[in-house]
Amino acid sequence: MFKKVQKWFDERIELTETINEFNGERIPRSGGWAYTFGSLLAFLFTVQVATGIFLLFYYVPYFPVARDATYFIKHNVLFGSLLLGIHLWGAFTMVFILVVHMARVYFSGAYKKPRELQWVIGMALFSFVIVLGLTGYMLIGNENSWWTINVLSNVAAHTPFLGGFIRILARGGTETSTLAMQHIFAVHVWLLPIAVILLIPTHLFLIRKTGHQGMAMEYNKSKLPDDNIDKWKHPDATVPFFPDQFYKDMIVAIVVFVVVYLLAIFFVPEVGPVYNPLALHFAPEADWYFLANEELLKFFPGHGLIIFATFLVPIIGFVILFALPFIDRGHERSPFKRPAATILGIFFLLLIVYLTLMGGEPKAPATI
């Protein structure tokens, strides 16, 4: 019976061959577990889309109502808390895994010729996912949401020359209110998800075009010199994507899924009260992956310097990261053969962790 169905499709569209070609991608053999993070991101994103779409069955993007709708989902919808919790912890996990995936790619030098474009598309994905996280935080409609919109659009206002305009555009008007929420909603639910859905296949297509590089240890037997790009297209040994790599991808995905699921069952934060610009003792908090940048703000006081923390440092850091493959043009892949890059990378990761922990410290006035 199955054979018959298969034959029916094969006669028409060569289905078996297509699937085999898709699944047969050759993956470098030794580092399988390190290569699971990319698929994990794709998996997590799928979970976000699935949960997000069904949150929309109850959500309303209108300021006073949004928080109540979120509250309703959490407390009055059957398993609503789980749905909301998976969406929340899935988002947090995705941001974290993004950094892990980037670190893996960075330390194995996989962004170098001929794979520069993978990195560039990856950075676009990175920016979109971060903005998705931020806009999601704003959509909850609680006090933090309101202040996040307010504070972040004020941050944008410090952009040289265009600042004021950017702030008005970001808010969809001059005040943080109805239209701001409506625009943020459209961005979070339509614009960015669609951009990500288009970019992930682009990312994967590029990877298939050049072949997956993996880590330097995949090329120990190669006789070619490091500056020959052919060397980096032919690993010593490969395995097919399906089932060898896919099997590992699935195991990692399940472990992470279970963690997300348990967090969603046991630790879904309170929705918090509706926004109230009159509150006298409210201390706005940024989402955790913004704490590093927030900490930075404290180091640059006064008129002339604010722009360092709101604009210059983040933008310069971002541009350097974006253009990394075009800045670091050495040919060595092994982290031990390019100590400067490796040490810089470790330093940068430690700095981010440090700033995040500092930014997360309870703030004095709020605790009085």
User: What are the residues binding other proteins (CB under 8 A)?
Assistant: 147, 150-151, 154-155, 157, 163-165, 168-169, 171-175, 177-179, 182, 276-284, 294, 297-298, 300-303, 305-306, 310, 363-366, 368
Dihedral angle computed from the Cα positions of residues 132, 138, 140 and 146, in that order, rounded to the nearest 10 degrees: 180
Sign of the CA dihedral running 38, 42, 45, 51: negative
Closest distance to other proteins from the beta carbon of 30 (Å):
46
Closest distance to other proteins from the beta carbon of 279 (Å):
6
180 lies in the site for ligand HEM, by CB under 6 A = no
d(CA 210, CA 187): 33
> Which residue number, 100 or 169, has a Cβ lying nearer to ligand HEM?
100
48 lies in the site for ligand HEM, by CB under 6 A = no
Which positions from 117 to 146 touch ligand HEM by CB under 6 A, shown as an x/- string?
Answer: -xx--xx-xx--x-----------------
Residue 68, judged by CB atoms within 10 A of its CB (0-12, 13-18, 19+), counts as: middle
> Which residue number, 260 or 355, has a Cβ lying nearer to other proteins?
355
Of these, 73, 88, 105, 260, which contacts ligand HEM (CB under 6 A)? 105
Residue 76 partner contact from ligand HEM, other proteins, none using kind-dependent CB cut-offs of 5 to 8 Å: none
Residue 37 partner contact from other proteins, ligand HEM, none using kind-dependent CB cut-offs of 5 to 8 Å: ligand HEM
Which positions from 209 to 228 touch ligand HEM by CB under 6 A, shown as an x/- string?
Answer: ---xxx--------------
Between the CA of residue 266 and those of 73, 77, 283, 289, what are the distances in Å?
16, 17, 25, 22
**Hey, how many other C-beta atoms are within 10 angstroms of the C-beta on 356?**
17
Residue 302 partner contact from ligand HEM, other proteins, none using kind-dependent CB cut-offs of 5 to 8 Å: other proteins
Whose structure tokens read 């949150």?
A: 55
Residue 352, judged by CB atoms within 10 A of its CB (0-12, 13-18, 19+), counts as: middle
d(CA 293, CA 352): 9
Closest distance to other proteins from the beta carbon of 266 (Å):
29
Closest distance to ligand HEM from the beta carbon of 290 (Å):
17
Which residues of this chain interact with ligand HEM, rule CB under 6 A? 35, 37-39, 41-42, 45, 98, 101-102, 105, 110-111, 115, 118-119, 122-123, 125-126, 129, 200, 203-204, 207, 212-214
